[in-house]
Amino acid sequence: MSGFRRQLPPMTSLVVFEAAARQLSFTRAAVELGITQAAVSRQVQALEQNLGFQLFKRLHRAIELTERGQILSKSMSEALGTITRTVQSLTSETGSGELVISASVAFSHFWLLPKISDFRRLHPEIRLKVISQDTNVNLIREDADIAIRYGVGNWPDGRSTLLFSDDIFPVCSPAYLEAHGLPDCVADLVNHSLIASGSADPSWVGWSRWLNAFGHGAAPLNVTLSCSFYTDAIHAAMRGEGIALGWNRLVHDLLQQDRLVRVTAESLRTREAYYVVLRNGQPLKPQVEAFLRWIRKEREQPGLTGSQTASVLEE
């Protein structure tokens, strides 16, 4: 059997193609690779000539991958990601002692970071890196050991395990409650100052979806403050700006500290939940196994608040 060198196009052109395909831009790929845009274009053209088919559709001020380009891009990203992680684990001291965790800003801020000191006490030898962002880190392409995500548990870049479901209910500050009183019922919420937070994630629960679960979705909303991030909405609620939707697992500590109070007995449990996601086919590093043991124990801690809850499970 002949070697890889005779079976494959030049590796330089493949690496340049991977960057251009991931960025969907010759210009951004050039910046990433430290070469000129013209050099990227030449390498891609040479690769296309070598393969005998087009990898990109050249549009006006844009490029798109062809069907064959998409297949090659996925394969290259997976292969280079595997090589990168292997080299890091073999040559870097941090490869054996660092744990990289990805989570949303809200989950990191309200759940993970307040508890992480316990994990650090149990495992002082593990260096932690927390990536907090509301767009999912791609486990195939990016250097994260564990992702904690909210959704239905189906992501193409990893295998997921249910962490816990959650209940969503309105919350406000004690000061707001003292000044405005409790709503008489769910329908009366629309007469209060509501705080909304946006998200590009279709699984996100906003006021319309929450109220609709109780038959009041058509009522006009009195949203007096809208925030781009959920963390900002909760901080605004703590400062008395109005009523926000609270994810019980995220605001539990704030309720226990009386910085927030629950407004209604009604809560919504959706089909979405929190999941731990691990990269497909990747052997577990010791620090990953340690974190999984810790977080499984943490999820068993009491999380429900208040008395009897009327819970609605969405279809």
Cα(first)–Cα(last) distance of the chain, in Å? Answer: 55
Residue-level pLDDT at 279: 86
pTM for the full predicted model: 0.68
Class assignment of domain 97-315?
alpha beta
**CA of 136: how far to CAs of 106, 250, 270, 277, in Å?**
13, 19, 20, 11
pLDDT at 309 over 80: no
How would residue 237 be classed by pLDDT, with cut points 50, 70 and 90?
very high
Residue-level pLDDT at 315: 43
Question: Where does the chain hold its CATH 3.40.190.290 domain(s)?
Answer: 97-315
Residue 258's Cβ-count burial label (10 Å; 0-12, 13-18, 19+) is: exposed
Interval 83-101: pLDDT, tens: 776 766 665 544 457 899 9
Question: Where does the chain hold its CATH 1.10.10.10 domain(s)?
Answer: 4-91
Interval 115-146: pLDDT, tens: 999 999 999 999 999 999 888 888 877 778 99
What's the token pair of residue 58?
């050249």
Residue-level pLDDT at 1: 39
CATH 1.10.10.10 fits 4-91, yes or no: yes
Contacts 24+ apart (CB under 8 A), 43-48: 43/12, 43/13, 43/16, 43/17, 44/13, 44/16, 44/17, 44/20, 46/10, 46/13, 47/9, 47/10, 47/13, 47/14, 47/16, 47/17
What DSSP character marks residue 169? Answer: E
